[in-house]
Amino acid sequence: MSKVKQITKMQLFLPIFSMILVMLVNVVYDIACGNPPFGFFAISTQVTSSGNAILYGRLIDILNRGSEVAILAIGMTLVVSASAGTDISVGSVMSLSGGMCCMLLAGYGVTNVSEYAKPLWFGIGAGILVAVVCGLFNGFLVAYLNIQPMVATLILWSAGRAIGLLLCNSAIVYVRVPSFQVFGSYVGFLPTPILIAAVCVLIMALLLKFTALGTFVQSVGINKKAARISGFNSAKIILMCYAICGLCAGIAGITATSRIYSADTNNIGLNMELDAILAVALGGNSLGGGKFNLAGSIIGAYTIQAITTTLYALGVSSAQAPVFKAIVVILIVVIQAEPVRDYLKKLSAKKAAAKEA
């Protein structure tokens, strides 16, 4: 087998190829506009009003803005693999987590503060805890009551954001304290959300590598009954995956809230559940459960953000961007679909047979 065929058969080939394809569009656009050929990849430093030098560039922007989706993709990958379904409530849970955190830090009914009503650790801890509880609620419905994942998570998809609004007294709560804002701004020269996403990915990668978590999740996803006969507690494993998904939604919610130093519960996490699901699909993972590749999902998450950044660079308005984004995503997903891959394999085999003849 040639090296090219070996490379194309790798599980991460299509996710990486999709990312490279999006990047090449920017290179072509820069050349067409007379810009430096690799201006899209240029990274420079900028000095802020406070005198700090920070990294700046489109690649940094992609990594920064795509961090929340990357964090969500970690939990979504486990949920899809174990339950053969998706958690469509993660965007609302993000909003609820951020709302809970800011409400506690500011005090109920207060909309603008410059000092904490409660300690920072307490607000962040409570925000993440409520997200984990939401994950456990979803997991209980799916694992123990055998409700379809999309139907089970539809409850918090509609109620989570509303509960967040109630916590914030139907107002945007601003927490203008530097120690809170740092989670969405910069640590030194690097955006904090990138570091948070990197830590989350690293921890999950280590868990999958040095524990049997990945084996348990994939076994349940491939065949729940066979896994139970083999001694696995399928219900507890599915419940754990939803709890982890809730945890990831909570971390993403705190990050997103800190980025805008406020709890805008109407808009935080809006439609992010769709991006998280797409990240899993773009990563080459089957939405029917079973085997998964976490690296593919992370690449998929940043590919989605790269598409968004590319569209803005091309002059597409924010209102029109979702249309073009949907078209690009459909093309990428179709390329990765099993029937298309099987057809290309058959076509390649026919050509090889014709050459030999």
pLDDT, one tens digit per residue, over 82-129 is: 998 999 999 999 999 999 999 999 999 899 999 999 999 999 999 999
Phi, psi (rounded to 5 degrees) for 57: 155, 165
Q: Which residues make Cβ contacts (< 8 Å) with residue 319, sequence separation at least 6?
A: none
- pLDDT over 70 at 134, yes or no: yes
Of the pLDDT bands very low, low, confident and very high (cuts 50, 70, 90), residue 341 is confident
Determine the Cα–Cα distance for residues 90 and 72; give it in Å rounded to an integer. Answer: 7
Determine the Cα–Cα distance for residues 356 and 323; give it in Å rounded to an integer. Answer: 45
Length of the chain: 357
Of the pLDDT bands very low, low, confident and very high (cuts 50, 70, 90), residue 244 is very high
What pLDDT sits at residue 338?
Answer: 73
CA-based torsion, 208, 213, 219, 221: positive or negative: negative
pLDDT, one tens digit per residue, over 249-306 is: 999 999 999 999 999 999 999 889 989 998 998 888 888 888 899 999 999 999 999 9
Exposure of 143 by Cβ count < 10 A (0-12 exposed, 13-18 middle, 19+ buried)? buried
CA 173 to chain centre: 25
Q: How far is CA 316 from CA 35, 103, 125, 275, in A?
A: 18, 36, 39, 19
- Is the backbone of residue 109 left (phi > 0), alpha (psi -120 to 50) or beta? left
Q: How far is CA 75 from CA 221, 246, 249, in A?
A: 15, 7, 8
Residue 17 CB: number of other CB atoms within 10 A? 15
Give buried/exposed letters for 285-324 (b at 16+ CB in 10 A, else e): beeebbebbbbbbbbbbbbbbbbbbbbebeebeeeebeee
Give buried/exposed letters for 180-217 (b at 16+ CB in 10 A, else e): bbebbbbeeeebbbbebbeebbeebeeebeeeebbebb
Whether the Cβ atoms of residue 156 and residue 125 lie closer than 8 Å to each other: no
pLDDT, one tens digit per residue, over 191-223 is: 999 999 999 999 999 999 999 999 999 999 888
* DSSP summary character for residue 50: T
Determine the Cα–Cα distance for residues 148 and 293; give it in Å rounded to an integer. Answer: 23
Cα torsion 107, 111, 114, 120 to 10°: value is: 40
Determine the Cα–Cα distance for residues 179 and 62; give it in Å rounded to an integer. Answer: 24
Whether the Cβ atoms of residue 125 and residue 188 lie closer than 8 Å to each other: no
Threshold 0.85, pTM exceeds: yes
